[in-house]
Structures are given as structure tokens and as C-alpha cells.
């Protein structure tokens, strides 16, 4: 009888340790995220599954990283692309992005620009100051835009995103799955 009890205690410890490791990984290192909406099309589609790295809080963020953050205007989480970092100026002129006065090509917008050649701009003109009343992005904040600029609710709408509200950086996309969890 003693061996049976030892076996149960041993399995209980193993399961307990596995659960603790899973909780630590889930809460401190990686988190799953499901894309909702069309604001990041064509890069990310509705219902894409992502793995979000929480390491980026310590590693830092770069221009054009795709991040998940707590939405400033709801209880949801949003996914957008970082365009401006602390100390940057941001401007959009004639569908060209300027960061600190330097023009940047945005290859992830190619699909939208090709579709809208005859219809107009993909991204309307703006300056950081027009949107936020700040000449440069202050320390502790980022400026974000969705890739589907015509429908994206982003920093043009709600302003700068506090870095403390960033959940993490998208590091892996897992293809869409159906309700049964099978890859579509």
C-alpha cells in the first residue's frame, strides 16, 4: 500500500510542477493571442493565432514591430505595428511615412496601394503634432498604426500608447484553425 501512495504523491508533484511551469511561461514569457478584425490585413487575417513574446519588454521594441497592447478605449487588446518610438517625430505625406524626417518604404502596404491607385491615398496626411499636440513622442510611449489604414483604429484615433500597456511582440503566427481546433 505504501508504494501506491508514494506513486500518487510522485505523480502529484510532477503534475504540480508542470502546472507551475505552464503558468510561469504563460504569464511571464509567452502568451497566445487571436487576431480579431481586419485592421492588420493583409499581414494578419481575422482569427489568426499568434504567439506573443513578453521578453520584448526587456529587449526593447523596434520600428515596425507588431505588438499586442491593452486598448486605451476599451477592455480589449489591439494588435498594431509600431511606427514611432520615444524621441521620434512621425509624419505621413502623400502616402509616404516619414520618421525623424527620413522617408520609409512600407512594403506591407503594397497590396493596399495597388488596390487604391485610382481611388486615392491609403493613409491620409498627418503629423504627430496634429494628432497628439506633441512634436516628438515622449519617453514611455509609442505611436502605432494598423496595416489596413483605411479601417484601422490606431494612434490616429486614440493617440499614443503607453509602453506599460504593451503585452508583447508578435513572434509567431499559427495558421487559422476552425472551431474544432483543426488547421483550416
DSSP state for residue 138 in the 8-state scheme: P
pLDDT value at 177 more than 60: no
- pLDDT bin (cut points 50, 70, 90) of residue 13 is confident
The three-class DSSP label of residue 71 is coil
At 21-73, the pLDDT tens digits run: 766 665 556 788 889 999 998 889 898 988 898 876 667 899 999 999 999 88
More confident residue, 110 or 77: 77
Whether 80 is catalytic: yes
From the list 107, 104, 110, the residue with the least C-alpha distance to 85 is 104
Question: Average pLDDT, stretch 171-176?
Answer: 75
Alpha carbons 80 and 7: distance in angstroms, whole number: 49
Task: Tell me the C-alpha to C-alpha distance, in Å, between residue 82 and each of 14, 24, 114, 182.
Answer: 41, 27, 23, 31
**128, 125, 143: which is closest to 89 by C-alpha?**
128
pLDDT, tens only, 84-124: 999 999 999 999 999 999 999 999 988 887 776 656 788 99
Among 53, 54, 80, 155, the active-site one is 80
How far apart, in Å, are the Cα atoms of 173 and each of 110, 111, 118? 20, 20, 33
Residue 42, preceding peptide bond in cis (omega within 30° of 0) = yes
Catalytic, 10? Answer: no
With the C-alpha atoms ordered 162, 160, 79, 89, is the resulting torsion angle positive or negative?
Answer: negative
Query: What's the pTM value of the predicted model, to 2 decimals?
Result: 0.81
pLDDT digits (tens, 9 = 90+) for 115-162: 766 567 889 999 999 999 999 999 999 999 999 998 999 999 999 999
pLDDT, mean over the chain: 86
Task: For the beta carbon of residue 127, count every other beta carbon within 10 angstroms.
Answer: 14
As a whole number of angstroms, the distance between CA 151 and CA 141 comes to 23
Amino acid at each position: 500500500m505504501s508504494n501506491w501512495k508514494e506513486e500518487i504523491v510522485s505523480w502529484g508533484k510532477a503534475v504540480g510542477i508542470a502546472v507551475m511551469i505552464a503558468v510561469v511561461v504563460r504569464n511571464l514569457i509567452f502568451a497566445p493571442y487571436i487576431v480579431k478584425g481586419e485592421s492588420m490585413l493583409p499581414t494578419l487575417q481575422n482569427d489568426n493565432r499568434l504567439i506573443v513574446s513578453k521578453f520584448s519588454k526587456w529587449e526593447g521594441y523596434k520600428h515596425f514591430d507588431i505588438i499586442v497592447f491593452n486598448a486605451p478605449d476599451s477592455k480589449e487588446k489591439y494588435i498594431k505595428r509600431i511606427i514611432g518610438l520615444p524621441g521620434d517625430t512621425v509624419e505621413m505625406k502623400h502616402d509616404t511615412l516619414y520618421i525623424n524626417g527620413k522617408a520609409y518604404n512600407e512594403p506591407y502596404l503594397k497590396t493596399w496601394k495597388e488596390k487604391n491607385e485610382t481611388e486615392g491615398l491609403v493613409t491620409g496626411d498627418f503629423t504627430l503634432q496634429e494628432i497628439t499636440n506633441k512634436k516628438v513622442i515622449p519617453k514611455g510611449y509609442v505611436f502605432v498604426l494598423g496595416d489596413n489604414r483605411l479601417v484601422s483604429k490606431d494612434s490616429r484615433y486614440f493617440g499614443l500608447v503607453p509602453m506599460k500597456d504593451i503585452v508583447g511582440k508578435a513572434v509567431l503566427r499559427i495558421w487559422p484553425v476552425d472551431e474544432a481546433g483543426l488547421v483550416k
